[in-house]
Structures are given as structure tokens and as C-alpha cells.
Amino acid sequence: MQAARVRIGVDTGGTFTDVVLADDSGRPPLTHKLLSTPDDPARAVLDGIQTILGEWTSARRGDPTARPQVIHGSTVATNALLEGKGGRAAFVTTAGFEDVLWIGRQNRPELYALEPVRPEPPLDRAAVVGVDERLRFDGAVLRQLTEDNAGVAVESVGRLGVDSVSICLLHSYANPTHERLLAERLRSELPGLHVTVSSELLPEFREYERSATCLANAVVAPPMADYIGRLAAELGPGSLRVMASAGGSLPPEGVTRQPVHTILSGPAGGVLGAFHGAGSGGHSRIITFDMGGTSTDVSLCDDALTHTTESEVAGLPVRLPMIDIHTVGAGGGSVAWLDDGGALRVGPQSTGADPGPACYGRQHGELLATVTDAHLVLGHLAADQPLGQGLRLNPAAAHGAVSQLGARAGLSPAETALGILRVADATMARAVQRISVERGHDLREFTLVPFGGAGGLHAARLADYLGIGEVLVPTEPGLLSALGMLGAAPLHAFSLSVMERAAPDQLHGLPLTQLPGVVEAIAQLRARGEEALAAEGIAEPEREYHFSLDLRYEGQSYELTIPLSGEDPAAAFTRTHERLYGYSAPDKPIEVVTARLRAAGPVQPLPRQTLAARTGSDGPDVADAVFLYGDEALPAARYGRRALRPGDLLAGPAVIGEYSATTLVPVGWQALVNELGQLLLTRTGGREAQHG
């Protein structure tokens, strides 16, 4: 029997673990959803892979390759930081700079707080080791690191009994010699200790950001090494790749060495899947809206994925390149509660996978009302619709939880449920505005692409709130992150500080890329990219190199990242600066701060299916439903998405149910099914959707 090439995408979320399998037969992918196992995330991953492989073997009557390719989006690194469950790390820095992680920046998390509280770094102050050495900003040695002083530092780290260590010496981006000496000593004299070296991970200036990023890597390294090591051993050599925050995939050995690259692993897969899926339907300017069980992730794609190096996780800046994703604590499992003033609040607390929303029937004692419970009370969810692992909804428990909360607020159950959804919508709307309007984009020019288990339930209401004209619901929206991972190309990101100034009269018409420092940095980055891709066995014709420069006007504190795409980067910088800030200064000197490279392998095509046309003149099957609008009940329609065909036009109020998600079509909206099976929601007028 002929072997088939099999790829499996696995996304582990706070509530569900999603698994998608695609082969080279051209048939639709297989899907599987099961509850996550927060106590041991690998268990759900391995169980899901085993189950879907069994289904594939039975349904396709074929033998997979000896080792199917698994691309996995992990939350282990993120949770290790958010929940304080990472390894115990030491921090080695230049003597006199031991407090850099506590001093940080002058930014205040709460601008008007009289006594602002800064998040504490995940580091014991006693685990900071100062080293007697010193470099200048240009890498010149002011105080040599001697073998004796290096030995003292290694002994100090050894006495701490830590799991990992981060080395971040002053100005090591300009001269890594001292860091390399320390790293060699630590690795040889303290075997088994994970060592993070800033000149390897992030050779860029800005001491605080570099220190924080390297510390984050050191903290998440021990749990990630155990987790990824277990998965790689169970799946076999060469079979596992891990989704990276930048939108590509990494081999296990790269992840265990630098796991901080996977901080936004799962959400990145969703953005990738949404971008490619929407593009196939003719929509390249999109806002992705991923609403899962515990959080909502949003990202803007303006004809391309948007990347950033200014992210923050658990109060720590992470300066590594990643897809620009903004996260808020609003998901299907987010808990509704009353604050001290009696105002209704939603999240960021979540019931997660265990016990889950009240309607899962697993909560004990006082029932906690969640966003999912509110939808069930209002009639948006069918009680008989199965969830992952055969889980079914319990309407009585949902009504009980919402009623208890409503009694304390003086509201009816329906009013309380509607209030929960409105509060959640407002939270998510602010997240979308942050990555769009606040950056100079007109939301009327974009299409909202919802996914995740709960995205389709809020998308039209959110679009009304924001003034977005259309919503495109992809196929299998509740499994899109796992599906997107199937298209993740091998990707390695590198950066190098340049710090070169160029006045307009110095360039004489030459592009910034001809500056000596830029030429040298690009050559070094390309060599590193070639080495990384060659190590993965990627042939030269299949390699892609995407360079960019971080630029700023002289005197500015922060930069804009400008891709090198043929246009003079100085002109592109001027235009981008004008759009974002309303002015430009073409006669002012420009500083090239950092050069960047994303070295990528071939992109894997995502499964794409064309929906079969309807035969006969009958329309789609429809069942009766009732939506509650406060104290008013309104007849609605309920459709099964599998039965829909191209050209079907469904008027709201209606719900469209499927295995992985539910889409709500409010009053004043309609849904048109296209040939790819996607749902295009547009307004028709009538009552405002936010009252649905």
C-alpha cells in the first residue's frame, strides 16, 4: 500500500486542544477537538494525535509515512511566565548594574495611580550575580574579564542551585567576547544548567529590554525543555516542529535553546490561517479576531502579516520579532462579576478547561457565570450541540449561574446575559482599536475575520460597534489556529545592532543600505540565516531572506521597522512616519539602529476545498430558534453549516452551528456562503445588531 505524506497541526488552548490532519490526497482535512489537560499539556496533545491518526487510517484506508510531520502551537512558555511556574533562574550582569530589571523604564502602568505598582520580574534578588568587567558602548574593553573573575561568577551561580542562568553584560551586543567566556565556563563546569546568552539571543542595544528578554528565556527554558523533549521523544526524530511567534516553525532543539520565541505560538498560527484563508477569498486587508475559551487575540494584516519587536508578557518586554498580536482577557470562559461599585465586569479571570463554564456541568458550590453561559441563556447556542469529547451543554446550570449574578445586580437573567455580552464586546473593541485606529488605520477599509470557538458569536456585533462593513467567517473557525500551523514555513529570526547615523548631505543619493555598517550587518545576518537553513536541509533555491532596518530620526527614542523591498528605506521611513505621527522631517539625519533578518524555508500549502453546489431548488434545512433581547423574545432560524452550499443567503436573526464553533447572524445582518464555504456577513439595516 502506498505511503502518504501526513501533516498534523496541534493547537493547545486554555480550554480545548485542537488537532487537524491533512494529507496529499486532496481530500478535506480531518479534525478533532478535546479538552486540554492543564496539569499535563502533553497528554492532550499526544492523545489527540493518536486519535486523529487512528481516524485517518480507518477513513482513508492508507498508511501514513513512518513519522507524520507535527506542527505544534504551545502555551507552556506563556503560562510559565503568567502563572509564575517557570524555572528558578540566575541573572549574571556587569557589576554595578544588578538592579536593571527592577529599575526598568519610567513608564507607569497606571498613569494616574498615586502609588503605582510595577510588576516584579520573575527573579530572586539573591540570584543576581555582578561580574567585574566593563565594555564601552562601541565594544571597546574598559575592564577586562579575567579568568579569575569569571571563575568567581561561575562559583556564585553554582551555589544558587538554579535551573538556568541568563548572561547579559553591558554593551555585549557590540562585543560578545566576555559573554562567550562566561558561557563556556558555565557550560563546562555546571553541566545540565540551561544558559541564555544575550549576544546570541538578542544582540541589540537597550539594556533593560535585552535583560528582560533574556531573563524570560531563562525562566521558561526548564519547563519547555521537559515538555518539548517529551513530545519529541514520543513522536520520534524529525517529526516535531513548534510554531514560533514570528509566524514560522522551529525544530525542537531550537525551541529548547531559545523557547522565548514561542511566547505567542498558538495565536500566531491563527493569524497565519486567517490571513491565507481570507486571501483565498479575495480579502487581504483584514482584522483577525480569535476568541477562545480564556482570551481574545486580535491582529491587523494590511496585505501582509504585521510584525513587531515591542511585545510584553507578564510585565516583561520581549524584544524578539513576532506577529503583532494584542491579547485581552475576554473569552468564552471569562467570568462575569460585580466590582465593589456594583458594576458588571467580565474577565480577565476564566474558568478554563476545568471546571469550565457553568453549562459544562462541572462547577461545584457557587456557580460562576461566563460569556458562554450568557449565550446559552439568550438562545444563541443549541443545548444538543456536542462539544469536544462528546461534552454537551447544561442549560439549567447556565440559567442558574446567570440568575444568581443577576439577582445581586437587580437584573433579570436575560438582561444579565445581554449585559455580559456587551461588556465583553467593549473589551474586545478596545483591543481592535489599539491595533488599528490608534495606528492610523481606517477600520472601514478592513474585513473582520473571526475564529476560535466563540469568535463567530461576537463578530457582527463587534463590527457594528467599530464601524466595520463586513465579516468573513472561515471554514472550521474553531480549529483555524491548528489549521494555520500546517502552512508554517521553517523560519529563523536574527538581528544585529548597527547604530549608524546618516545625514541627507552624507548620502549623496545613495540608499541607506549602502552605508558601511548596514552592508556589514546584512552580510553577517545572511551568513547566519544561510547556516540555520542549511542545518535544516533546506536547499538554496527554496530559501527566502527578508531583511528590514529599524530607523529613527536623530534624537528620537524609538524606531520604526522598515522592510527592505526595493524602495529606498529612507523614503519608506518618511512615508510611514507621516502616516503614523502626522509629520515627517526629510532634512533631518536618520539613524539606522538595528538590522533584522527573517530567513525562511518553503511555505507549505494549506488545504483548500471548493464547496459543492446545491442540487435541486430546495434551500438549506432550517430549524426554529428563539433569541432573547432583554424581556423580548424574537423568532430566529438555526442552520447546520455542513448543509450550506454556495449562494445560500441567510437573513438574521439566525445562528449557524458546526462542530468547532457557532456563528451568530444578528438582526440587520445577512450571511452569504461563497464557493470556498466561507460566510460573508454584511449589513441589511434594521435593528442595531448590538441589541442581539
Give pLDDT tens digits for 303-318.
Answer: 989 999 888 887 889 9
Per domain, the residue ranges of the chain are 3-81+227-241+253-262, 84-219, 491-600, 623-691
Asked, as a colleague might, if the bond just before 348 is cis with ω within 30 of 0, I would say yes
What is 3-81+227-241+253-262's CATH number, 3.40.50.720, 3.40.50.1220, 3.30.420.40, 2.30.40.10? Answer: 3.30.420.40
Q: Say whether pLDDT at 690 is over 50.
A: no
| C-alpha–C-alpha distance, residues 421 and 380, integer Å | 12
Q: How many CB atoms lie within 10 A of CB 252?
A: 22
Cβ contact 467:445 at 8 Å: no
pLDDT tens per residue, range 507-557: 556 688 888 999 999 999 999 999 999 999 999 999 999 999 999 999 998
- Least confident segment among 119-133, 241-255, 608-622: 608-622
pLDDT tens per residue, range 438-489: 888 999 999 999 998 899 999 999 999 999 999 999 998 989 999 999 999 9
User: For residue 505, which phi and psi values (nearest 5 degrees)?
Assistant: -75, -10
Cβ contact 472:679 at 8 Å: yes
Q: What is the mean pLDDT of the chain?
A: 89
Q: Say whether pLDDT at 225 is over 90.
A: yes
Query: Pick the residue with more confidence: 241 or 35?
Result: 241
What pLDDT does 353 receive? 67
| C-alpha–C-alpha distance, residues 554 and 556, integer Å | 6
Nine cell digits for residue 510: 545613495
| C-alpha–C-alpha distance, residues 70 and 42, integer Å | 13
What pLDDT does 107 receive? 76
What average pLDDT does range 349-369 have in this prediction?
A: 84
Strand-pairing partners, residue 31, are 20
Q: Say whether pLDDT at 119 is over 90.
A: no
Cβ contact 88:127 at 8 Å: yes
Q: How many CB atoms lie within 10 A of CB 244?
A: 29
CA distances from 227 to 39, 75, 80 (A): 12, 11, 12
Cβ contact 217:81 at 8 Å: no
Q: Say whether pLDDT at 26 is over 80.
A: no
- Least confident segment among 249-263, 343-357, 423-437, 572-586: 343-357
Radius of gyration in angstroms for the set of CA atoms belonging to the chain, rounded to a whole number: 26
Q: Say whether pLDDT at 319 is over 50.
A: yes
Enumerate helices (H) and strands (E) in the chain, giving the number of each: 17, 36
pLDDT band at residue 692 under the 50/70/90 scheme: very low
What pLDDT does 58 receive? 82
pLDDT band at residue 659 under the 50/70/90 scheme: confident
CA proximity to 319, closest of 258, 252, 392: 258
Strand-pairing partners, residue 93, are 130
Cβ contact 227:210 at 8 Å: no
What average pLDDT does range 44-51 have in this prediction?
A: 94
Strand-pairing partners, residue 196, are 166
What pLDDT does 687 receive? 45
| C-alpha–C-alpha distance, residues 659 and 643, integer Å | 12
pLDDT tens per residue, range 579-612: 888 899 988 999 999 999 999 999 888 877 788 8
What average pLDDT does range 258-281 have in this prediction?
A: 92
What's the CATH code, domain 84-219? 3.40.50
Q: Say whether pLDDT at 64 is over 60.
A: no
| H-assigned helices in 370-412 | 371-377, 395-409
pLDDT tens per residue, range 65-86: 557 899 999 888 888 887 788 8
What pLDDT does 685 receive? 65
pLDDT tens per residue, range 361-399: 888 878 899 999 999 999 998 887 766 556 778 899 999
pTM: 0.88
In percent, how much of the chain has pLDDT > 90? 64
CA proximity to 431, closest of 310, 580, 298, 314: 298
Cβ contact 330:371 at 8 Å: yes
Q: Under 8 Å CB-to-CB from 606, ≥6 apart: which residues?
A: 22, 273, 276, 277, 483, 484, 486, 487
Q: Say whether pLDDT at 433 is over 90.
A: yes
pLDDT band at residue 60 under the 50/70/90 scheme: low
Q: How many CB atoms lie within 10 A of CB 165?
A: 30
What average pLDDT does range 188-217 have in this prediction?
A: 95
